[in-house]
Amino acid sequence: MMLRRWSVTLLAALVALVTIAPLLWMLSVSFMARGEAAQFPPPLWPASPTLENYHLLFGTFGVGRFLLNSILISTLATALALLFTIPAGYAFAKLRFQGRDAIFRMLVAALVVPGQIGMLPLFLELKAMGLVNSYAGALVPWLAGIFGIFLVRQYCLSIPDEMLEAARIDGASEGQILRRIVLPILTPIIVTLALFVFLGSWNDFMWPLIILADQDLYTLPVALAANSRQNVQDYEIMMAGAVVTTLPVLILFLALQRYYLSGLLTGSVKG
Amino acid sequence: MASPALAAILLFFVLPAIASLFLSFTDFDIYALADIGNLRFVGFQNYERLVENPLFWKAMTNTLLFVAVGTPFIVALSLFAAMLVNSRWLKWRPVWRVALFAPYVTTLVATAVVWRYLLHTRYGLLNYLLSFFGIPPIDWLGSPTASLPAILLFVGWKTFGYNMIIFLAALQTVPRELDEAARIDGANWFTRLRHVTLPAIGPTLLLVSVLTVAGMFQLFAEPYVMTQGGPAQSTVTILYFMYEEGFKWWNLGSGAAVAFLLFLCILGVTLVQLKLAKRSGAI
């Protein structure tokens, strides 16, 4: 039994190490001197760790600008998504309005339709609205978050009707009920949803690539992809760029993993 | 309270999706982009041209290859990881679970750049490791036969953690006694997997396959960053083809036709999966 316990744990440790090895290597190479990574055998650790690549990245390559764009777009996407989906999710769970269940069934069915299907017309639509090549254009898809509505609704179903009824009898308006009673109960799922949208919009690539033409507006992934198609030889800089792009979301996930994983299960298993 | 969200969904999701079908029957191109007066209704012409376009068929076969090879590979990988993490003898379970899940939340473009380097013929870590087993360097991203497995390797690494979490939740509902009884009866690991575990998690297996198939149909950033569709167009996927049609050549009519066909493909394969699952009694 003892042997079995340790062999399983050892195997898991090995698999985990192989899994995070690319990320560790990315971090390691980002501290190497220029040209150091282009060797055989590939060095695992920098001979003398340097921040040169990060200096270059933020100096010459102006990554600060892209970082700022990413932070701005992801933060706004998160705020807007919460603003739009929380009231909707609550309404679908607890308020009575015409066609509620039919609309909800259609929304759930629409979850299987990938967003890319409508990308070309959406581009034309936003062009007509003058939103191409703007932050607003990059934000638009996050307003239409069906998954978020679904997530909030599932959570709201567990709120007892008597609680809302009591507040109504006391003369509270629907807006007050949402703000004062429902929102505090929803805190965990709001964190989950915010995390999903923030990570999703941060990591998103295809839509910002299409809608943002000006280099000044590029998000980190778009800028990184554009650079990776040119500076193929500068591994150390590219790795530093990858670190700057992915480390913020990785840290955010590690800090709030409980919320992320529980939301993932609500979304997939019950859906 | 639902109306702002519904209005947004209608305006930015439903309308474009429906418009895609209409757009696919027009010759919307760079001239129509400049002046809408140049737009003409062309019936099925876009579809007819696509059928005659070898690159479209290349993209189609590549994507179907990704689906056919990638889905079983990724589902098996995820199930293996889930069973490992679910093992009752495992210590420090949460640590391994988070480590295996981590790639899923990383930025796709960033890790694709990392993997491109990892797969480098001369300086890459993978070929270095393989050299210990006497395997000569493989030109992962430069050879038309190795490029697809190389991208699948990356996609598998990136996504198996997500499926693993779903599998884990299902595995935790399988009673330990069932597995234990089979073990006492002398059933080996593989027999128990086939006759105890898999039947118990049938619906989850279906869910994960459906999600993975949909994901395989939507590969875009991977070839965009790692191979730019090459070598010899061996990694041009449907979505990559749609992107180039639409936003490189500005053939939006033709691009919309590709989008609509992609939708039909995903829908078709999903329905077939559901049917197969029903027949086998999984759901």
How does pLDDT run along chain A (271 residues), one tens digit per residue? 677 778 999 999 999 999 999 999 999 999 999 989 988 888 999 999 999 999 999 998 899 999 999 999 999 999 999 999 999 999 999 999 999 999 999 998 888 888 899 999 999 999 999 999 999 999 999 998 899 999 999 999 999 999 999 999 999 998 999 999 999 999 999 999 999 999 999 999 999 999 999 999 999 999 999 988 876 678 999 999 999 999 999 999 999 999 998 888 876 544 4
Contact B92 A121 (CB under 8 A): no
Contact A88 B23 (CB under 8 A): no
Contact A110 B117 (CB under 8 A): no
Contact B105 A249 (CB under 8 A): yes
Exposure string for A37-51, b = 16+ CB within 10 A, e = fewer:
bbeeebeeebeeebe
Per-residue pLDDT reduced to its tens digit, B118-157: 999 999 999 999 999 999 999 999 999 999 999 999 999 9
Of A122, A205, A264, the CB nearest to B221: A205
Residue in B closest to A13 by C-alpha: B96
B185 CB contacts (<8 Å, ≥6 apart)?
none
Q: What is the pLDDT of residue B283?
A: 59
Q: What is the pLDDT of residue A207?
A: 97
Q: What is the pLDDT of residue A127?
A: 94
Asked if omega into A41 is within 30° of 0 (cis), the reply is: yes
Q: What is the pLDDT of residue B249?
A: 94
- Selected for mutation to probe chain B from A8, A34, A104, A116 (highest B CB count within 10 Å) is A116
Contact A253 B102 (CB under 8 A): yes
A36: chain B residues, CB-CB within 8 Å: none
Contact A242 B113 (CB under 8 A): yes
B262: chain A residues, CB-CB within 8 Å: 114, 116-117
A97: chain B residues, CB-CB within 8 Å: 2
Q: What is the pLDDT of residue A271?
A: 41
Q: What is the 3-state secondary structure (H, E, C) of B219-253?
A: CCHHHHHHCCCCCCCCCCCHHHHHHHHHHHCCCHH
Per-residue pLDDT reduced to its tens digit, B26-79: 999 989 888 888 899 999 999 999 999 999 999 999 999 999 999 999 999 999
A37: chain B residues, CB-CB within 8 Å: 117, 123
Per-residue pLDDT reduced to its tens digit, B247-261: 999 999 999 999 999
Question: Is residue A124 classed as helix, strand or coil in its secondary structure?
Answer: helix
B154: amino acid identity, one letter: F
Per-residue pLDDT reduced to its tens digit, B99-108: 999 999 999 9
Residue in B closest to A174 by C-alpha: B1
CA distance A69 to chain B (A): 15
